[in-house]
Amino acid sequence: MKAIQLNEYGGPEVMKVVDLETPSPGEKEVLIKIEAIGVNYADTARREGQYVIDTPLPFVPGAEVAGTIVETGSEVKRFKQGDKIVTLLGTSRATGYAEYTVADERGLIPVPAGVDLHHAVAMPLQGLSAYHVLKTMGRLEEGETVLIHAAAGGVGSIAVQLAKLFGAGKIIATASTEEKRQAALSLGADEAVDYTMEGWEKEVLNLTEGKGVDVALEMAGGDIFRKTLSCMAPFGRLVIYGVASGEQAKLYPSSLMGQNLSVIGFFLPQMMRKKELYTQSLHELLAFLSEGKLQLTIGGVYPLEKAPEVHRMLQGRETKGKLILVP
């Protein structure tokens, strides 16, 4: 089978098309013919060797796939050949940037009727991330103000809509271009700010009449983190779910005390270990999707061999919505 593999850490150019043996499923696993692959910042972090957990080499990136089951292990009970599924890959023997992969039956999600695979593949990672960053970690309450960075991106565009569905009083979105800011406004944001401009944090404070925001979703790191922290209201919760800039930020814990601020880290694989949270939130997301309450923006669909180009675009902030690779 064709796959994208990296044998060293580095820029997009380290990803190469290779021929690998098609994996065979274990007793409780299925073999999936991949038809859609979600591209995420986590993939770029693994490529650079900067992920939260170690990335062993050689490595096939990609955690989010949708496709058709073509073979089942002897102990698989809930699924059969021909079923359309979507899943997050964990310790599978092959990962997502490939024509085939194996996955544990317990992590498989049936794709609802009427939902195409390009939309379904946005749900396991970006949908669940947006949900739990807002609700579980950010503890967003009805009427509160939320700040969402990269609001036209995969997680951000879903988070804007979920914040509205969860009853946020005001949603302030940030994005780097006018087109992206307009996209965020069309999804339900009340205000849109250019975070590439000097002093954007003062604009956020002005939009809240100096009160600050109750919840902030931050995934850039560096200077963006520092300025976001200055936008927080008393008792505010700043949730970190990435470091897209690759630049870590310094935090002095005593600086949180004056306003009772919280800085909270979020890592989806930990959330997946809490089955009750995982299943309940996924059912809620799929219901929003099937009822037309959640609109997914497909930013582009590209052949698998274009993975290096897609990574360059993603990290260059040239995209909006969900980016998909197709074998």
Q: Which pLDDT belongs to residue 295? A: 87
Q: Select from 87, 17, 15, 18 the least CA-distant residue to 44.
A: 15
Whether the pLDDT of residue 254 is over 80: the answer is yes
pLDDT digits (tens, 9 = 90+) for 190-235: 999 999 999 999 999 999 999 999 999 999 889 999 999 999 999 9
CA torsion, ordered 292, 296, 302, 303, to nearest 10 deg: -50
- Residue 142 banded pLDDT, cuts 50, 70, 90: very high
Task: Return the percentage of the chain with pLDDT > 90, whole number.
Answer: 70
16 - beta bridge partners?
5
Q: Which residue has the tokens 């080499």?
A: 57
The pLDDT value given to residue 124: 83
Please give the Cα distance from 233 to 211 (Å, whole number): 6
Rounded to an integer, the average pLDDT of 264-292 is 84
Q: What is the DSSP string of 130-168?
A: HHHIIIIIS---TT-EEEESSTTBHHHHHHHHHHHHTT-
Say which range, 22-26, 64-68, 166-170, 297-301, has the weakest mean pLDDT.
297-301
Given this model, what pLDDT does residue 92 score?
A: 46
pLDDT exceeds 90 at position 178: yes
Distances (CA, A) of 123 to 67, 79, 115, 246, 325: 14, 20, 11, 25, 15
What integer best gives the mean pLDDT of the chain? Answer: 92
pLDDT for 227 equals 96
Those residues whose C-beta lies under 8 Å from the C-beta of residue 145, and which sit 6 or more positions away, are: 168, 169, 170, 171, 172, 208, 211, 212, 213, 214, 215, 233
Q: What angle do CA 83, 84, 87 make, to 5 degrees?
A: 115
Task: Evaluate if pTM is beyond 0.85.
Answer: no
The H-or-E segment that residue 264 falls in is strand 262-265
At 94, the pLDDT band (50, 70, 90 cuts) reads low
Task: Report pLDDT for 12.
Answer: 97
pLDDT of residue 93: 56
Strand pairing report for 29-39 and 100-104: antiparallel
